[in-house]
Structure 1
Amino acid sequence: MSRSSTAGGKALSGNTPDLDLGSSRPHPSDPEQIRRQSFESLGITTPDRAMWNLRNVLREIGEDQEQRIFDALKSASDADASLGGLERLLCGSLGFPRQVLDPGRLERLIKILGSGEPMAELAKGHLLDVTSPGFTDDPDEIPHAPAIGGADETSRARALNRWHRREQLRIVCCELEGVFDVEQTGFALSDLADHTIRCALDVLGGNDLPMAVVALGKWGGRELNFSSDIDLYFIRDDKTPAGPCEAVVRGVLRLLTGYAGSIPLYRTDLRLRPGGITGPLVPTVSQARAEFHAVAGTWERIVHIRSRAVHDRTRGLPRLLAEVEHFVYQRPFDLDEIQRLQGWKEVLESSPAGRDSAELKVGWGGIRDVEYLVQFLQLLHGQVHESIRGGNVYHALRRLGAIGALTSTESARVLDGYRFLRRVEHHRMLQHRRQSFSLPEDPAQFRALARSLGYDNSDDLQTALDRRRDRIRSILESLFHDLFRGYGDDQAGEVHVILAFRPEQEVIDRVFGGYSFRDPGKAYRLLRRLAFPRQAGLRSPRARHHLAALFPVLLDAIRSSPDPDQAALMFVHCVETLGAPAIFYQQLTENPETCQIFVDLFGQSRYLSELLLNHAGILDEVVDRVRTNQPTTDESLMEEFRSSLEGVKDEQQIFLQ
């Protein structure tokens, strides 16, 4: 990616006095000139502001600390942000604890502040904590459960705000110091949100009301980042009055978004609640059930993959969530829903953000590519494989690899890419503490981001990012974008009988009754063995995935063969003889003309079919042509047979005749 070489740099917060540096050129031994040279070596892009910040800091802590500051700035990702944050924290009217100047503490503070401008605000009031070497000890106890006290609601709300900021700061430090990886950070931030919502209910006196809180989105999947909004809805039991519950919920939302002058804790989004933005603020369980059954479709299935109860004092929610899970996974993910999902993804990719190569979330090979792939595979296979259900993408990728829906290489590459993207996203958000899914345009900020992630320069980060995004995109296209294309309503039944665990008899009769089989029911039971093989070693979600995409083409080829029943029987025997059906189906899907050739062969000559099946090595040689994507025609395939049959004397003579 080409980037402008102009270094802008954003101004740090606060007012800077006009500086009269004089028109004469400083002498090389001038202390101010030496400082400016040091700033230049540190990559500082706003030297005038840095000079002002440094003077103020040294005025507070002493001129003898100057070299110590410059040494510490060498390890900071963004020296501009470090100096600006240091000035804000140490030069305020309330002063600072002098222990911050103890050995190691000041250095630790400067490094943390270099992660981004918001770190100064986050660390305010917690300077001794954040500079303590033991601040990130006991990661299993992060976040600590709060003990919120106070004489009135306002004091308890402020206590909750202070606790939340301290625990968020601990989580940030754990990731910056390598105590947490990005997955553990997501869990910790989600646990923090869980504790916060329960405490908010307690502060407002709503902890014992028969109501519940359901988390959705990244919060539901335990993947919150440092600047996530939280998707949620509240729900109450049927006989619970609306008034008290709605009063508490309004108070909770007010507390989360800023209360009594305190810093907002979360942006909240209730648009996904039952009834949407026009529905009741706190619907009953029955209202939610009725709404869900009335409007539930593909979008609702995707949304509720990541739903979980955070707080529950109701009797009816567990049953409702069980019904929702049944709806999400027990209905087959049929052709119309697959194509609807593909259409949504295409719209997203055609948006300005989707076409932006700097976009981490919806751009090429970005976070959305991984989420679409995982949710598509969960809906495709979750009916049969319960282990892949759930809202956490990291867990789902591991389980999809374990059951064979992804190969081990694909699972490892997508998991590595997703971890990397999320880590870049976290550090990008720390630079500004707001939702920012684009790589910085400013070269200085991009360089600071690279340093915070452990890279020496921007090019190395960009190379690492491009490599992972290309891998993600390639896997998404082969398993999602490129399959099920060109099919319409006429092929929906063919796809359904493969994807459904128990397809309806009416669909079976309609599909197989239209393909010239002597006994459609027998043909269904035979071809069903392709989707659910008798041999355990051939059972593969990935094979069923590609077979569903191939099946309309396969049935058309069988119908046009001289003997459809024989062609179907021999094709099934061929797959059972070869093994590795997922690879075979994938190659036939990519080369439908080869599928037609194979079926024609099996439908024309039972003897030749059995000859090939009884000499597995010959069949493997023929199939290798398909697996290596070599062009195949009837003539080239027959020539391949003649060449492969050399040495099989009696059979060869009959075949050649």
Structure 2
Amino acid sequence: MNAASRMQTTAGRLAMIGFADGARAERLLDELGPEAVGDFDLLDSLVVAADPDLALTSLNRLTEQDPSVLGALRADPGLRGRLLGVFGVSAALGEHVVRHPEHWRLLGGAQVATRPTSQQLRADLLLAVGADPEDPEPRATDASTATLVALRVAYRGRLLQLAARDITGAASPTEVTAELSELAGAALEAGLAIARAEHPESGSVRLAVIGMGKCGARELNYISDVDVVFVAEPREDAAGTVDETKALQLATRLAQGMMRACSASTPEGSLWEVDAALRPEGKAGPLVRTLASHQAYYRRWAKTWEFQALLKARPVAGDSELGEQYVSAMNEMVWQAATRDRFVEDVQAMRRRVEEHVRADEAERQLKLGPGGLRDIEFAVQLLQLVHGRLDPLLRRRATLSALAALSRGGYVAREDAKALAEAYTFLRQVEHLIQLHRLRRTHVVPEDVTDLRRLGRGLGMTSDPVGEFTTRWRRHAMEVRRLHEKLFYRPLLQAVARLPESEARLSATAAQARLEALGYTDPAGALRHISALTSGVSRRAAIQRTLLPVMLGWFADAPDPDAGLLGFRQISDRLGATPWYLRLLRDETAVAARLARLLGTSRYVTGLLLHAPDAVAMLASDAELDPRPPEALLAEARATVGRYPAHAENAVVAVRGLRRRELLRTAVADLNGHIDIEQVGLALSALNDTTIQAALDAAIGKVEMERSAPLGTRFAVIAMGRLGGLESSYGSDADVMFVHAPLEGVSERKSTDAAFAVANELRRLLALPAPDPPLLIDPDLRPEGRQGPLVRTLASYAAYYERWSASWESQALLRARFSAGDPSLGADLLALADPLRYPPGGISDTAVLQIRKLKARMEAERLPRGADPALHTKLGPGGLSDVEWVAQLIQLRHAGRLPSLRTTRTLETLRAAVAEGLLPADDEAELAQAWRFASRIRDAIVLVRGRAADSIPADLRDRALISRALGYPPDSSEDLVEDYRRITRRARRVMERVFYED
């Protein structure tokens, strides 16, 4: 028979609609009776089952025991859907119904769709063992095997009803786990009633059974060990005496009897293992203790993981009043456990140990213990609860999902993270339940068999490609869980919060002011006002701030200026607090919060930049974000920005300044964090200044051309001079430049010069417009004739001037000349014009050398500010920047004409080349370079700390202390900074005097 013919057979049609073995399904349907094959309602219910073949097999076997079931299925669609739904998932429950054919009737009628109360479950199981549910301490008829069997049968009847509601979607996953936990509690109560039947004297002791783990949290699996702890108290006997030893012995026998009643093997199997290993001292400790004994143990001996376990504790059976006393007493210790030494580290280590014990061949398929499994979610949630719950009672929840929701509401976990974890947790629990239901076995491993995977996928409602869709969703959830687990579970903020004394963690006004003063805040009352402004109210924003601030106050205190740090944080939070990512970033990426606190408490310059570019806080998340951006990328972005404002030069430059502000912040943060050195700072700032000038020049040319309604008519270039030309810009540097233009063919020199002047003046105006960011002032005073000379010259005019009038100082100034912006070829032409002057082929004359030496001496005498301490002046003082730079420049003027390696605008590069050419001893270069770097770092640190430029180490001791801290000196070491500077510059001065003045 060919395939086409086969598909026309009944077996073929059955295979097409979902049966794996069509021929077998046909045979089983035939056995049900001739009408079964044509019963489309029955077929529809079978093929929507997770495993139609399994469902049909169990139905066939049940019909052999009770043929009336078929009529009932036709009459009751709800019964049909529930029974076949269970049969299609659980071979074990199918076996149970076949053994107890009357139990299929438990799935009929409207009552099965209603969740039973815990009292109903307890009454059912107690009645099954012959105990009176109304008795405060119910006692079973006996402890015989028949009684144990009756307990199991009644338990599985209730389990069957719950599974039916679960599989048909009538009960949510949370409702399923809660009912399983209540059912387990009822079984424990019935087991205790059986134990009492063996011990008539049981009334002389009060025994409470405390559910732990998933049972305590009301999130139990279908098949799981039930974790318990026992607590007992003796009762007075008839004579009014109390014998605690005898009472504990009796309570131990009752506990053991209860455990046997649930765990013992019978013709109906066992329920599950009752595990008391979470008790004090574990399996080595006594099975039952008094409440006082429990308290003594936990106060003195308990390990961190034991408090984590107590988080789930709940009375589930026995003396409920004693159980509540136990939980209340334990809670007092649970919510203080996070203050223990190394608490967070211990919990993290415990998770790693659990993971290490997973079998290697099962790790990737473990729903519970493996990476991305349920334990990842549970450990993360529990750790967050224990750390933050000591101050926030709303987090004190036993169940994972409700605790996760509380953590999200309180701002401890981002909403989207909580949502992703909740979805993953629900999915993983559903998969776990489907796996366990199949054979009613305790397992958490995803099967590898395709048939099993197909049943899982279909059980979750996946029909088109159940195996592929299930595998994809499972892996996606596991990957997301692992990512979020590592993000939350290893969050450094947890350790910081856990270590805080409660007085600090609560931010109480009375104790906080003294504490703030002790931490180093000079205005604790002002600090409290900032704290109150940030944390007041019930908003999510205030809740996150209440978590962050206790830790950040300590980080501010570790910074040079805690008061300025807290003030800056409040100002930035006021601007960004309503922005969803801001506080989430600080909470979830603790390194960002710590970095921000240090920056705000160190640098007014950075604080000012952040206040006007608060979004840039995001760049603190990664060191890679602090890398200086390539000049090409900066220029492309700046030009694109200008292009968006073709008719508004002022708006274009405002936008470019926003880019500049962000990049200044990037450089300053990288500098303060030691991510880049002083030479890289100079390169980054110079490249940024070049970009800013080019963008402003583009805007200026556009405006001039628009005003004149004509093209410019000349090429225009900006030549960088001074520190900008040397690629050594500092945070407070002006932009020393020269302007050059070259008329286009056919354009008169006068007309082109007027246009060039207009562009130069517009460029200066645009960059000088008032703005909140640090200005970039254009200084053209190094042009020919200085301030007396024309602002802009043609290339020919420069050539004529340099040929006839150039002074030696101008040759020296041209050593720093470098193209900055505008027409590159024109810039190259001017530099080519300058080369013979700055790199004279035969070196400069002795007369020129003498002039340079005199000029250096006059500058030191005349330009040093009145009252300044020369020894602390970083630019003009002995051994300062000027000494080092003039040595390098004199070497260039003497030798660069014959040695191309010296033709650089950079000071330290010149010194290194001089060593390579044998013109300077390496030791001398090291002394000069050290002084130049140190002086440059101090000048930059002054700007970063004070927010304004200065050349001298300040005399004010507080400012000096802040600057020394910014440079990495420990507290109270500002005099070390001064001594280091004096020593380094003395050595550099000696080198300068020998090299600069030698003949």
Into which bin does the TM-score normalised by the smaller protein fall?
Answer: 0.7 to 0.9
1:427 equivalenced with 2:415 (yes/no): no
1:41 aligned residue: 16
Structure 2 unmatched runs, 5+: 131-140, 235-243, 627-665, 669-680, 693-730, 733-765, 778-946, 950-999
1:156-175 pair list within 5 angstroms: 156-175=147-166
* Alpha carbons of structure 1 residues 58 and 205: separation in structure 2 relative to 1, 3 Å: farther
* Alpha carbons of structure 1 residues 414 and 621: separation in structure 2 relative to 1, 3 Å: closer
1:73 equivalenced with 2:46 (yes/no): yes
Contact residue 232 and residue 269 of structure 1 kept, 8 A: yes
Secondary structure of 1:241's partner?
helix
Q: Partners in 2 of 1:117 and 1:231 — Cα distance?
A: 27
1:138 equivalenced with 2:114 (yes/no): yes
Question: For residue 76 of structure 1, what is the amino acid of its counterpart?
Answer: A
1:475 equivalenced with 2:481 (yes/no): no
* Alpha carbons of structure 1 residues 253 and 525: separation in structure 2 relative to 1, 3 Å: farther
1:443 equivalenced with 2:450 (yes/no): yes
1:297 CA displacement: 2.6
Q: Which has the larger radius of gyration?
A: 2
Secondary structure of 2:230's partner?
strand
Contact residue 186 and residue 222 of structure 1 kept, 8 A: yes
1:363 CA displacement: 2.5
Contact residue 550 and residue 588 of structure 1 kept, 8 A: no
1:582 aligned residue: 583
2:675 aligned residue: none
Secondary structure of 1:401's partner?
helix
Q: Partners in 2 of 1:137 and 1:547 — Cα distance?
A: 50
Question: For residue 415 of structure 1, what is the amino acid of its counterpart?
Answer: A
* Alpha carbons of structure 1 residues 242 and 326: separation in structure 2 relative to 1, 3 Å: closer
* Alpha carbons of structure 1 residues 436 and 89: separation in structure 2 relative to 1, 3 Å: same
1:409 CA displacement: 2.1
1:129-278 pair list within 5 angstroms: 129-134=105-110, 136-141=112-117, 144=121, 145-146=123-124, 147-148=127-128, 150=130, 152-154=142-144, 155-205=146-196, 208=203, 209-238=205-234, 239=244, 241-258=247-264, 261-278=267-284
Contact residue 228 and residue 435 of structure 1 kept, 8 A: yes
Secondary structure of 1:237's partner?
strand
Q: Partners in 2 of 1:388 and 1:323 — Cα distance?
A: 18
1:114 equivalenced with 2:88 (yes/no): yes
Q: Partners in 1 of 2:6 and 2:575 — Cα distance?
A: 81
* Alpha carbons of structure 1 residues 478 and 566: separation in structure 2 relative to 1, 3 Å: same
Question: For residue 116 of structure 1, what is the amino acid of its counterpart?
Answer: S
1:620 aligned residue: 614
Q: Partners in 2 of 1:417 and 1:160 — Cα distance?
A: 35
Question: For residue 128 of structure 2, what is the amino acid of its counterpart?
Answer: I
Q: Partners in 1 of 2:548 and 2:169 — Cα distance?
A: 40
1:361 CA displacement: 1.2
1:417 CA displacement: 1.6
Secondary structure of 1:600's partner?
coil
1:601 equivalenced with 2:607 (yes/no): no
Secondary structure of 2:317's partner?
strand
1:527 CA displacement: 8.4
Secondary structure of 1:232's partner?
strand
Contact residue 42 and residue 79 of structure 1 kept, 8 A: no
Q: Partners in 1 of 2:354 and 2:443 — Cα distance?
A: 17
* Alpha carbons of structure 1 residues 506 and 71: separation in structure 2 relative to 1, 3 Å: closer
1:43 CA displacement: 5.7
Question: For residue 41 of structure 1, what is the amino acid of its counterpart?
Answer: M
- TM-score by structure 1 length? 0.78
Secondary structure of 1:361's partner?
coil
Contact residue 211 and residue 234 of structure 1 kept, 8 A: yes
1:16 aligned residue: none
- Pick the aligned partner of 1:307 from 313, 321, 338: 313
1:603-652 CA deviation, whole Å, 9 max, x = no partner? xx7xx95x679xx5x15255465479843221679989999996447996
1:454 equivalenced with 2:448 (yes/no): no
1:197 CA displacement: 1.5
Contact residue 58 and residue 87 of structure 2 kept, 8 A: yes
1:338 CA displacement: 1.1
Aligned residues: 603
1:37-68 CA deviation, whole Å, 9 max, x = no partner? 356436655789x47xx757755x43443444
Q: Partners in 2 of 1:131 and 1:497 — Cα distance?
A: 54
Q: Partners in 2 of 1:359 and 1:650 — Cα distance?
A: 55
1:390 CA displacement: 2.5
1:234 CA displacement: 1.9
- TM-score by structure 2 length? 0.53
Secondary structure of 1:231's partner?
strand
* Alpha carbons of structure 1 residues 391 and 26: separation in structure 2 relative to 1, 3 Å: same
Contact residue 527 and residue 566 of structure 2 kept, 8 A: yes
1:440 CA displacement: 1.5
Question: For residue 254 of structure 1, what is the amino acid of its counterpart?
Answer: R
* Alpha carbons of structure 1 residues 46 and 396: separation in structure 2 relative to 1, 3 Å: same
Q: Partners in 2 of 1:261 and 1:222 — Cα distance?
A: 29
1:91-114 CA deviation, whole Å, 9 max, x = no partner? 4xxx32524433156844333211
Q: Partners in 2 of 1:120 and 1:443 — Cα distance?
A: 21
2:378 aligned residue: 371
Secondary structure of 2:386's partner?
helix
Contact residue 552 and residue 593 of structure 2 kept, 8 A: no
Contact residue 383 and residue 501 of structure 1 kept, 8 A: no
Q: Partners in 2 of 1:645 and 1:335 — Cα distance?
A: 57
Q: Partners in 1 of 2:377 and 2:516 — Cα distance?
A: 34
Contact residue 257 and residue 267 of structure 1 kept, 8 A: yes
Question: For residue 138 of structure 1, what is the amino acid of its counterpart?
Answer: T
Secondary structure of 1:204's partner?
helix
Q: Partners in 2 of 1:547 and 1:186 — Cα distance?
A: 38
2:334 aligned residue: 328
Q: Partners in 2 of 1:498 and 1:644 — Cα distance?
A: 51
Q: Partners in 1 of 2:439 and 2:163 — Cα distance?
A: 13
Q: Partners in 1 of 2:532 and 2:372 — Cα distance?
A: 30
Contact residue 457 and residue 470 of structure 2 kept, 8 A: yes
1:412 equivalenced with 2:387 (yes/no): no
1:171 CA displacement: 0.6
Secondary structure of 1:136's partner?
helix
1:15 aligned residue: none
Q: Partners in 2 of 1:334 and 1:246 — Cα distance?
A: 32
1:2-23 CA deviation, whole Å, 9 max, x = no partner? xxxxxxxxxxxxxxxxxxxxxx
1:210 CA displacement: 1.2
1:200-233 CA deviation, whole Å, 9 max, x = no partner? 2223337854111100000000001111210002
Q: Partners in 1 of 2:590 and 2:287 — Cα distance?
A: 52
1:577 CA displacement: 3.6
* Alpha carbons of structure 1 residues 413 and 532: separation in structure 2 relative to 1, 3 Å: farther
* Alpha carbons of structure 1 residues 43 and 624: separation in structure 2 relative to 1, 3 Å: closer
* Higher relative contact order structure (alpha carbons within 8 Å, sequence separation ≥ 6): 1
Q: Partners in 1 of 2:282 and 2:768 — Cα distance?
A: 67
Contact residue 335 and residue 496 of structure 1 kept, 8 A: no
1:535 equivalenced with 2:536 (yes/no): yes
1:600 CA displacement: 2.7
Q: Partners in 2 of 1:540 and 1:645 — Cα distance?
A: 40
Question: For residue 180 of structure 1, what is the amino acid of its counterpart?
Answer: A
Secondary structure of 1:139's partner?
coil
* Alpha carbons of structure 1 residues 413 and 96: separation in structure 2 relative to 1, 3 Å: same
2:967 aligned residue: none
Contact residue 213 and residue 309 of structure 1 kept, 8 A: yes
- Pick the aligned partner of 2:303 from 264, 288, 297: 297
1:359 CA displacement: 1.9
Question: For residue 132 of structure 1, what is the amino acid of its counterpart?
Answer: G
Judge which range, 76-85 or 384-393, deviates more: 76-85
